[in-house]
Structure 1
C-alpha cells in the first residue's frame, strides 16, 4: 500500500461523520435518534452523508443530549472553540481525596476500626447533611474519605459471620453515598468501580435493603451508559424486584421504599427507550407502593416517598419527549413538598426540560433559577440543565439571552 495515499479519514471528520460514529457507538439506529431530536430518519441520514449542512447550535445540543456526548468537541471537532462537558460536570476539588480513599485498601491494621453501629450513625448524619445542604457535594466530599477508610477497615477486622455481614452492609452503603458524589464527575471508571464494589458488599451482607440500594444505583449506572446498556439495567431491576417480592408481606418501610424506587427505575429505563406503555405501567405500582408508606416517610438514599412521585411522573413524561404531558405533570407536582434540597433542585430541572419541550423557554429559565436557589451544585453538574442554559445563550430574545448568560456564569459554563 502506498504510504502517501490518504486513508478514508485522512481529512478532518465533518459533523455528519462524527454524528454517525457516535450514534453507531451507542448502538442507536437512525430511527431512534430521529425520534429523540424531533426529526425524520431521512434527515439524520442526509446529515450523516453530508447532504445537509451542520445544524444550528440548538439542534447540535439536542443531538449531543440524545447521544450522551460528554464533550461537544467529540461532535463538532472544534477543540479550540466552545468546549463544554455536557453530561460531565467539573471535577470537584475533593474528588482526588475520595478517589485515593476508594483505591487505598487498609491491608495493614494499625488501629482498631470503629464498630458498624458507629459507621452507620455517621452515614445517617452524612445523608441528612446531603439533603439539607445547597453545596451537598462539598459536604459529602469532606466526609467520605474517612468514612470509606473506616468502613473498609471494619470489614477486615470482623471476627464473626454476623459482624462481617453487618460491616459489609455498612461498607456497601458508604459506597452508595460515594456514587452520589461521583455522579457526572470526570472519572466514570471510578464510578463503576464503586458501583461494583457496592454491589459485591451488599450481596455479602445478605441484607435486602442494602441489596436493593446497590441494585438501584447499578441500574442507573447502566442506563446512563447509553441504549446499548438498557437491557442490563432492566436485568438488574427485574432480578432485584423478583428477589424482594416475597419479602414484602412482612418487612420494613425501607425495604418497601427501595422496592418502589426500583419499580420506578424500570419505568424510567422504558421511558428512555421511548416505550410509553411500559414506562407508565411501572410508574403505577411505584405510586401504589408510595401510598402504602407513612405520610412523612422519605427514603434517605433514593428520596422515594409520596412527595417524590409527582416528580417521577414529570421525568417519565420528559424522557418520552412529550412537552404537553410534561407541563401537565409539572403543574401537578409541587417541588416545595420535597424535603431534600438536591432532589428538589433535580425536580426543578426536570420541570425546566418539560417547559423547554413545550416551547416555553422563558418559564424553563425561570425554573432553572429556582433549581439554582435550591442547590447550586445540582444544576452545576446536571447535563440537561447545562444544555438548556447554553442553548438559550443564543436565544433571539435579548432579555432571555441576558438571563441565560447570567445563569451560565453562575453555574460555571462560561469559564474557559
Structure 2
C-alpha cells in the first residue's frame, strides 16, 4: 500500500485508482454509481480526459469510493469537504434520521408487539410487490424503526423478544432499501442494529436472517470471505431447526444461496455450485406456496441465483442456459424479477452481444425502473451500451441511459 508521502505526488486519477483497487471496488461498480461508463472512469484514472472531473463529479466519485473527505482524492489539504452521508433516493434522509436518532421521550402509549410484527410483514410484502419498492416500502420504515425501538424500551419477557424480532425485520428491510443509494456507514449501522435486535429476540431463525443481512453488506463492501463464513455459520445454526420448520428451511436455503454468490465472487466455482445444488434441493422440498417473508426463498429465486453465479464466474454461456429455465412470471418479487433481466444483460455484455444487452436491460427497466436506476451495474451497462452498441443501437441506448439517469 502506498505511503502518504508517495500518494502526495500522485495525480487525482492515480489516487482514485489506488483507492478503488485498495477497497476492492471494480471500475464497473464505481462508474455505475456516478452515472458514467467504465471507459470514462478508466480515462479519468489514466489522466486521458481533456477536461478533468469538476468538484461535483469528484464528490460523487468520493461517495462511490467511501472516502472520508475529498482530500483523499485531491491531495489539496485546504479543501476539506465531508462526503460520507450519501442520499441517492428521497427516502434515505428519513430512514437515516430514524436509525441514527436518539429518542428519550416517554412512550405515549403501549406498543403491541404482534401488531408491530404484522406491520413489518406488510412492509416486506410491499417491498416485494411494488414496482417502486424503495419509495413505497421505504416510506413505512421510519415509523416502524421508531416504534420497534420504543417497544424494546418498554416491554419485557416474550413480548420484548417478539418486538425485537420485528425490529430486526425492519432493520433488515432498511438494508435492502438503502443498498446502493446510501453511504456504507449507514448500511453498516442498519445491519449491525439488525443483528443486535436479533440477539435480543434469541431465536435461531431471526439470528440467521440477520446474518443474511449482515452478509449482504460484507459482500457489497469487498468482504466476500467474511460473508461466506457468516452464511456457513448461519446454515450450521439452522441445522437443528429444519425438521418441520418451513421458515428455518427457507432461511437455510437462502443462506446457501448467499454462500454460493460469495464463493462465485471469489472465483471458487466448486463451492458456488455446491451451494446452488444444496439450495435447489431444499427449494423443491418446501411445501408449495411457502416462502420466508424477507428472502422469498423458493425455486424461482434459486434459479435466479444460479444465473448470478454463472455471470460472476464469467461463464456467460452457462448463465444464458440457466436463465432459459426461469419463468419470470413465477418470481414473487418485482425487484428480483428486474434483477433476472439485469443478470441476463450482464451475460450478454460478457459476450459483447450489445443488442441482447440492450433488450435485457430495457425489459428489466420496464419491470422496475426504480430498481434499475438504483443499481450500479445497470447504470454501468447502460453507459457502456452507448459507445459499444453500434449505430444500430445508439439511439435507443441513449434513451435508456437517460431513463436510468446516466450521462453517457
TM-score, normalised by the number of residues in structure 2 = 0.84
Q: 1:181 to 1:25 in 2, by over 3 A?
A: closer
Mapped pair 1:373 → 2:354: no
CA distance in 2 between counterparts of 1:283 and 1:396 reads 33
Cα distance change of structure 1 residues 106 and 92 upon mapping to structure 2, 3 Å threshold: same
Distance change (3 Å), C-alpha of 1:367 and 1:70: closer
Cα distance in 2, alignment partners of residues 353 and 74 from structure 1 = 19
2:173 is the counterpart of 1:177: yes
Is 2:261 the counterpart of 1:268?
yes
Q: Distance in 1 between matches of 2:107 and 2:212?
A: 35
In 1, Cα distance between equivalents of 2:264 and 2:154: 45
CA shift in 2, pair 1:360/1:115, >3 Å: same
3-state DSSP of counterpart to 1:302 = coil
Distance 1:153 1:74, change over 3 A: farther
Structure 2 counterpart of 1:136: 133
1:285 and 2:278 equivalent? yes
Aligned to 1:224: 220
Partner deviation per Cα, 1:63-109 (whole Å, 9 max, x = no partner): 50378985579862542299476979962112111111112233221
Asked whether 1:79 is paired with 2:50, we answer no
Aligned counterpart, 2:17 = 19
Q: 1:389 to 1:115 in 2, by over 3 A?
A: same
Partner of 2:237: 243
Q: Is the deviation greater in 302-311 or in 213-222?
A: 302-311
How far, CA to CA, are the matches of 1:87 and 1:323 in structure 2? 27
Shift of 1:190: 0.9
User: How has the CA–CA distance of structure 1 residues 90 and 190 changed in structure 2, closer, same or farther, with 3 Å as cutoff?
Assistant: closer
Aligned to 2:290: 297
CA displacement, residues 240-271 of structure 1 (integer Å, 9 cap, x when unaligned) = 111111111242x1111011000111111110
The 2-side partners of 1:183 and 1:306 are apart by 24
Shift of 1:385: 0.9
* Number of equivalent positions: 370
Aligned residues of 1:248 and 1:255 also touching (Cα < 8 A): yes
Contact conserved, 2:283 with 2:298, CA < 8 A, in 1?
yes
Q: CA RMSD in A?
A: 2.6
Q: Cα distance, 1:298 vs. partner?
A: 3.0
Aligned counterparts, 1:6-405, within 5 A: 8-9=6-7, 12-13=10-11, 15=13, 18-26=16-24, 63-65=26-28, 71=34, 76=44, 78-80=52-54, 83=57, 91-159=88-156, 161-226=157-222, 229-251=223-245, 253-395=246-388, 397-405=390-398
Q: Within 1, Cα distance between the matches of 2:209 and 2:64?
A: 23
Q: Distance in 2 between matches of 1:188 and 1:16?
A: 23
The alpha-carbon distance between structure 1 residues 92 and 293, as it changes in their structure 2 partners (threshold 3 A), is same
| CA deviation vs aligned residue, 1:199-241 (integer Å, no higher than 9, x gap) | 0110110122211211001111111111xx2221122112211
SS at match of 1:261: helix
Write the distance in 2 (CA, Å) between the matches of 1:106 and 1:411. Answer: 37
Go from structure 1 to structure 2 and tell me whether the alpha carbon gap of 1:82 and 1:351 turns closer, same or farther (over 3 Å shift).
farther
Q: Give the Cα separation in 1 of the matches to 2:183 and 2:20.
A: 20
Distance (whole Å) between structure 2 residues aligned to residue 386 and residue 302 of structure 1:
24
Structure 1, unmatched stretches of 5+, are 1-6, 29-62
Q: Hey, what does 1:32 align to over in structure 2?
A: none
- Alpha-carbon contact 2:30-2:64 (below 8 Å) kept: no
Alignment partner of 1:394: what SS? helix
Output the CA distance in 1 between the equivalents of 2:216 and 2:317. Answer: 26
Residues 259-316 of structure 1: CA deviation (Å, up to 9, x unaligned): 1000111111110001111110111111111011123233321121112221111000
Instruction: Determine which structure has greater relative contact order: mean sequence separation of CA pairs < 8 Å that are 6+ residues apart, divided by chain length.
Output: 2
Structure 2 residue ranges without an equivalent (≥5): 46-51, 66-85
Residue equivalent to 2:73: none
Secondary structure of the corresponding residue to residue 169 of structure 1: helix
Greater shift, 294-303 or 326-335, is seen at 294-303
Give the TM-score normalised by structure 1. Answer: 0.82
